[in-house]
Structure 1
């Protein structure tokens, strides 16, 4: 009986990986060599609400959901990857944290940025939450992506980061990321994804700021 691709890859990995704490070699998001090593996740329940006054748009979402497995690839083949709860705490606590919200991981298509106060990243019960409270609807990229989100043509997010600490399972079929660094990485709205567990919303911002409790309830509801 022929072993499954996951089992075959795990067998090869077990013979060549020196320590379980070693990071995946040639880590990528797809089978094809050279694919980007980014975690992607579907944005269930995407909404774009227009108040009709041309005001700023508010974006809420999750770029990754913790404790949920998704498929990744290394030099040996497929494996399941999981981001541990709290894995980004140290990185997100940096006073100089610099992370943009971009389209398709294109650094020239920035919608918001932590250093300008237009993007807030945090860990919550679900994972890595993304909040851009006031996107400019006249910005070319915002105007481009908003109707696609509204129509459900684009409904996924991703984040780019560096693995700082992790460990393989005893059978080498699963890799758990225990600590990552997102400084000078990004959170991105993308076309396709492997992790189907996050939620997001884009809507017309109200004149008054959204309370943290109300925003948290909205994000949790959309993440289900």
Structure 2
């Protein structure tokens, strides 16, 4: 089985916007786009299926971070300072920036054009692999969304995580084919033994 406990990170270079709403400064953008195929470290391709976040959005407390650093909290869903939604395009993010050093830094960096995207951290719940194409294609069906981040340099997860994910999927496919064959052999062996 794939290692579902290891948090994975995916990033997206899309315009991040700020807007003022009274005294509140809000950052808005997309952390994920549905249906876009991404190259994961040259090892496999990946696409996020529509609805991949819907279960998690109903149940999980998701954090908004600066650069995936849990010590640099910008908001969270349970306090209402982070709002997430799936729409036809992808995972929409709105963060009410706090009046903290990090909040002010994020606002300044976006205004200067130094912040170029958003990202999300997740654990896989359900995925599908297509090994009939090269490189293999992974479709993310369902995730536990852990956090979304405002990032200065979006980048996909490192090669070691990508390789482990691919190797786990291959092992699972082999296991699915191997275990039924063993069970069949054991059943045939048992049937033959009972006939004697």
Fold shared per TM-score above 0.5: yes
Q: In the alignment, what sits opposite 1:165? A: 126
Q: In the alignment, what sits opposite 1:6? A: none
- CA-atom RMSD, angstroms? 2.4
Q: In the alignment, what sits opposite 1:114? A: 77
- The answer on whether the counterparts of 1:71 and 1:194 sit within 8 Å (CA) in structure 2 is no
- The answer on whether the counterparts of 1:99 and 1:113 sit within 8 Å (CA) in structure 2 is yes
> Which structure has the larger Rg?
2
Provide, for residues 113-148 of structure 1, a one-character-per-residue CA deviation record: whole Å limited to 9, x for no partner: 11111111110011111112x323x31111111111
- The answer on whether the counterparts of 2:39 and 2:45 sit within 8 Å (CA) in structure 1 is yes
Shift of 1:24: 8.1
Alignment partner of 1:37 is 2:8: yes
1: distance between equivalents of 2:73 and 2:153? 19
Q: In the alignment, what sits opposite 1:125? A: 88
- The answer on whether the counterparts of 2:127 and 2:142 sit within 8 Å (CA) in structure 1 is yes
Alignment partner of 1:87 is 2:58: no
Alignment partner of 1:102 is 2:70: no
In structure 2, list runs of 5 or more residues that go unmatched. 157-196
Q: In the alignment, what sits opposite 1:18? A: none
2: distance between equivalents of 1:24 and 1:167? 14
1: distance between equivalents of 2:155 and 2:38? 6
For the residue of structure 1 that corresponds to 2:14, the secondary structure is strand
> Which of 21, 27, 31 lines up with 1:63 in the alignment?
31
Could you state the TM-score of these two structures normalised by the residue count of structure 1? 0.62
- The answer on whether the counterparts of 1:68 and 1:82 sit within 8 Å (CA) in structure 2 is yes
- The answer on whether the counterparts of 2:125 and 2:144 sit within 8 Å (CA) in structure 1 is yes
2: distance between equivalents of 1:48 and 1:162? 28
Shift of 1:48: 3.7
For the residue of structure 2 that corresponds to 1:142, the secondary structure is helix
Could you state the TM-score of these two structures normalised by the residue count of structure 2? 0.70
> Which of 139, 151, 154 lines up with 1:193 in the alignment?
154
Q: Which has the higher helix share?
A: 2
For the residue of structure 2 that corresponds to 1:93, the secondary structure is helix
* Residue-pair matches, total: 153
- The answer on whether the counterparts of 2:19 and 2:27 sit within 8 Å (CA) in structure 1 is no
- The answer on whether the counterparts of 2:45 and 2:136 sit within 8 Å (CA) in structure 1 is yes
| Gap change, CA 1:78 and 1:24, over 3 Å in 2 | farther
